[in-house]
Amino acid sequence: MKLILAGTPAFASAIFAPLIENKTFEILALICQPDKPFGRKGELKSPHTKETFLSQDIQILQPDKITESVIATLQALKPDAILVVAYGKILPKAFLDIAPCINIHASILPLWRGASPLQQMILSQNAYFGITAMKMNEKLDEGDILGISYLPNTRQSITELSLQLASIGAKLAQYVLTHLQKIEPLRQINADASYCTKIKKSDGCVSLESANDVYRHYLAYCEWPHIFIKSTKGYTLKLFDVALIESCNTHKVGEILNIESQSIVIGCKCGSVRIGSLQQEGKAKLNAAIYLRGKRLNVGDILC
């Protein structure tokens, strides 16, 4: 089968890699986002998929827009199918008409259509997480379902969940592509749909009302934007290496319950959490116990 791959981040790389290694598939081209400025110096950084497969004998295309010229280039390759994983832009009908376009979407559709399904699955804390293969149409994640794989919720962080879903997503993609002509598509029930948007930095702001809520947000946002609380003095304080201690007992909001050698325990209105490191806005990240010593805070004081 002749394939075009379209995807940009590490999640896409993990799904594409087994397909590239599988000699059943002939990879005609990889489409990904253009290189973008990164860091304070604004140096150009390549997408993860480009960096991963640059050494392979694969044509790499990085168009700013899917123009008629890009469409013509892809049509000339005569693919049997196009596999799309987190490409990062809405694809026009002319692109979808080149060949059957199969999208691997990180949720159990029709739940969490949109840009941040991994984070929303974690925040929702359903019993199972999953990944869906669908035949793309012009609407947002509304295409007919071709296959679903799932795994149990064991309170994975987004880092862990991304790796697990990419692993089963790669197997799902191979199965669907290999059996594409035999699979009977299943129409999504739009009435059951839910949606998620692009993550903003402000989404990482948490209050210390519920320990469960703090922990869920940490699992979802521990890569970016990280979780943080707002100090009564005006600065923000990022929380790292967070673990749920208990979710039932009542405490003063932000009360320091225990200072350990490598962490601290903080009370919430409902429950408590352990925090390994803290980072005050504009300053270096510190071991949480060292941070408290620098602030002259003791057990019984309020963190922020």
Helices 10-21 and 158-178 cross at an angle (nearest 10°) of 40
Q: Are residues 221 and 245 in the same domain?
A: yes
Among 167, 196, 225, give the residue marking a domain's end.
196
Q: Are residues 173 and 207 in the same domain?
A: no
Q: Are residues 242 and 264 in the same domain?
A: yes
Q: Are residues 29 and 81 in the same domain?
A: yes
pLDDT value of position 120: 97
Q: Are residues 147 and 70 in the same domain?
A: yes
Burial class (CB within 10 angstroms; exposed 0-12, middle 13-18, buried 19+) of 146: buried
3-state secondary structure of 103: strand
- The CA-based dihedral angle spanning residues 92, 93, 97, 102, taken in that order and rounded to the nearest 10 degrees: 60
Q: Are residues 34 and 160 in the same domain?
A: yes
- Check the annotation: does 4 bind a ligand: no
- Check the annotation: does 172 bind a ligand: no
- Check the annotation: does 107 bind a ligand: yes
pLDDT value of position 164: 98
Tell me the C-alpha distance between 248 and 267, whole Å.
Answer: 11
Closest CA to 254 of 302, 211, 293: 302
β-strands 113-114, 195-196 pairing:
parallel
Q: Are residues 97 and 205 in the same domain?
A: no
Q: Are residues 138 and 16 in the same domain?
A: yes
Among 196, 225, 259, give the residue marking a domain's end.
196
Among 142, 162, 196, give the residue marking a domain's end.
196
The DSSP line for 275-294 is EEEEEETTS-EEEHHHHHHH
- Check the annotation: does 297 bind a ligand: no
Tell me the C-alpha distance between 287 and 261, whole Å.
Answer: 9
Which domain CATH number covers 248?
3.10.25.10
pLDDT along the chain (304 residues), means of 10: 97 97 95 91 91 95 96 98 95 97 98 97 96 96 98 98 98 98 97 96 97 98 97 93 97 97 96 98 96 96 93
- What's the sign of the alpha-carbon dihedral 84, 89, 224, 197? negative
Q: Which domain holds residue 163?
A: 2-196
Q: Are residues 37 and 155 in the same domain?
A: yes
Which domain CATH number covers 120?
3.40.50.170
Q: Are residues 229 and 192 in the same domain?
A: no
Q: How many domains does the chain have?
A: 2
Q: Are residues 35 and 71 in the same domain?
A: yes
Tell me the C-alpha distance between 268 and 254, whole Å.
Answer: 6
Q: Are residues 241 and 123 in the same domain?
A: no
Ramachandran area for residue 5 (φ above 0: left; ψ -120 to 50: alpha; else beta): beta
